[in-house]
Structures are given as C-alpha cells and as structure tokens.
Amino acid sequence: MGSRRLPLRARSDTALRAPRPGFTLIELLVVISIIATLASMMLPSLSRAKEKARTITCINNLRQLGISIKIYADDQGDRYPPSETGGKSTRQTLGGRDPIARLAGDYPSARSRPLFTYLEPSEVYRCPRDMGQRILPCGNPPLKPSNWETIGCSYQYNAGLLTTLSKGGFRQEPDDRVDGIANKYEGWAPSPVHYILMHEPPARPYGCASGAPEWYQWHYAQGSTDIADPKTARPQFISPVLFTDLHTVVHNFTKSLVTDPYYPYEPTKEWIWYKPKDGLTSAP
C-alpha cells in the first residue's frame, strides 16, 4: 500500500477573511464635527421646550390660585383678599410658606395669609424660574436666591402701590392707588377678562421714591435677571398672568416697559393694571 497522505491543514478564518479598512483620522474628525453640529442645532430647541414646560407649570399654579381666590371671595361676601394682614403686606404673600427668619418681621406668616385656609403652602406657590428680586435700593432685604425661598411665594397680587418712575405715574387718576383691587367687590374690575389679578415680577418695575427702580427677567433669561434699564435689556419681560375672570395667559410686557417706562401701567388691548376714577380704560 502506498503511503497515506495527510490532508492539508485548512487555513484559519482569520487568514481567509478579507482585510477591513478602518476610519482614517480625517473621516473620524468629519463624523465628530457632524455630531457636534447636530447637537448644537438641537440644544436650543431642547432648552426652549424645557423653558416652555416651566412656564406651563407657572400657568397651572396661577389657575389654582385663581380658584382659591374665588372660593375666598365667596366666603367673604364677594370681596377680594386684603392688601395686608396684621400690618404686613400681602401683595407678595397672598399665600405660601413662612418667610425665612431674617424676613419674619416684614412678611406675614403662612397661617396668617389670606389663602392659607383655601390653598395651604405647597409647590403651587413656586415658579420654577423664580430668580428673586434685588430690592436693596429701597433699603429692603433682597429676595435672593428666589422669592419662593425667602418669602414663600413667587406670585404677586395686583393690590395697589404700583411703582412709578420719578416724573412718571398714571395718565388717569387711579380709583385706588394704595389697595387696587384688594378688598373690593368682585364686580369692581372694569373688564374682568383684561384686569390683572396676579402676576410674576417681570411684568412691571419695582422700587420706591428714595431709590432707583429695578426690573426683572425670569423666563428665557440669559445673564443677570436684575435689570437697571429695560431699554438695554433683552426683550424678555415675560410673565404668566391671572386675570379676574380667572383665565391665565403668558404675556411679554417689554413694549409697555420700554416704549414709555414712565407710564408702564396704561391699558392695552391685552391687559389692564388699574381702574381709573372716571371709569375709562380704553387702550390707546
């Protein structure tokens, strides 16, 4: 018999497999550049979506506050809440949590606030974009880092004492400069669908006769949120608003604050800040 030949050893899979080209450095850089470009295009959209979600939260909060105010009025002979309780203003504290210790002498406690029985302290009183207010020019303690964290409420009650610049004011004499709608009967507002009941600070200026006024930006704010001159700031004086008919809207108050900052409270087709004595509230 002849010699038996052994079969040749089969080549390994690795040897048979065709070589695979990898990414070159230039190709890798191009891919990274494309990903970075797409990310930069998407981030602003994501940021705006997040900001819109926060604004919706504030709108929902104001709706709940509006319902609570309505129930309060029903229990109080159809009158709106007062502008102060125990000698302390409720314009910034219609409800909410206790103020921090250093501000306890300036703001009412949670239990003494008008809405406590109707809507107890909770996140409903907090705006997620609450950046606080720097009101040092008037000698008042600053509400930083936020109104919610210092006085327990982010929202303001339109109950008179609206800040005006020196040599400015109201083109019509207000029916009640001091208290506004506070303690008035529900039918007092000249146009319930337009009359502002509650709002956030960016809607108007703040200050006092002895100091420079300030404006604020919370929603979509970039950089400082404490504004010394509205004309040099971004046009983002955005504020969710509750009206006396209890509907809520997000408005940008930039035009009123910038066009004529000496008269920021004059009626427009969208809102009314005060009731004139002569009853005329038509927009220009």
Give a yes or no: residue 73 inside a domain. Answer: yes
Which of left, alpha, beta for 139 (phi over 0: left; psi -120 to 50: alpha)?
A: left
- Considering only residues 66 and 8, tell me which one the structure prediction assigns the higher pLDDT: 66
Give a yes or no: residue 1 inside a domain. Answer: no
Q: What is the pLDDT of residue 167?
A: 81
pLDDT tops 80 at residue 42: no
Q: Which of 109, 216, 209, 204 is nearest to 157 (CA)?
A: 204
Give a yes or no: residue 9 inside a domain. Answer: no
Number of domains in the chain: 1
| First vs last C-alpha separation in the chain | 120
Mean pLDDT in residue range 132-140: 71
pLDDT tens-digit series, residues 154-168: 999 999 999 888 888
Give a yes or no: residue 75 inside a domain. Answer: yes
Compute the mean pLDDT over every residue in the chain, rounded to the nearest whole number. 85
The reply to whether omega before 145 is within 30° of 0 (cis) is yes
Mean pLDDT in residue range 209-214: 73
Q: Find out whether 103 and 110 touch, Cβ atoms under 8 Å.
A: no
Q: What is the pLDDT of residue 55?
A: 81
DSSP-derived 3-state class of residue 272: strand
* Banded pLDDT at 224 (limits 50, 70, 90): confident
Give a yes or no: residue 49 inside a domain. Answer: no
Q: Find out whether 280 and 175 touch, Cβ atoms under 8 Å.
A: no
Q: Which residues contact 279 (CB under 8 A, 6 or more apart)?
A: 190
Give a yes or no: residue 33 inside a domain. Answer: no
pLDDT tens-digit series, residues 265-282: 999 999 999 999 876 554
Can you tell me the distance from the alpha carbon of 79 to that of 75, in angstroms, rounded to the nearest whole number?
8
Give a yes or no: residue 17 inside a domain. Answer: no
pLDDT tops 60 at residue 51: yes
Lowest mean pLDDT among 35-44, 78-87, 203-212, 242-251: 35-44
Give a yes or no: residue 279 inside a domain. Answer: no
Q: Find out whether 258 and 236 touch, Cβ atoms under 8 Å.
A: no
pLDDT tops 70 at residue 48: no
* Banded pLDDT at 283 (limits 50, 70, 90): very low
Q: What is the pLDDT of residue 138?
A: 61
pTM for this entry? 0.80
Can you tell me the distance from the alpha carbon of 161 to that of 17, in angstroms, rounded to the nearest whole number?
84
Domain range for 129 is 55-259
Mean pLDDT in residue range 129-158: 87
Mean pLDDT in residue range 65-82: 96
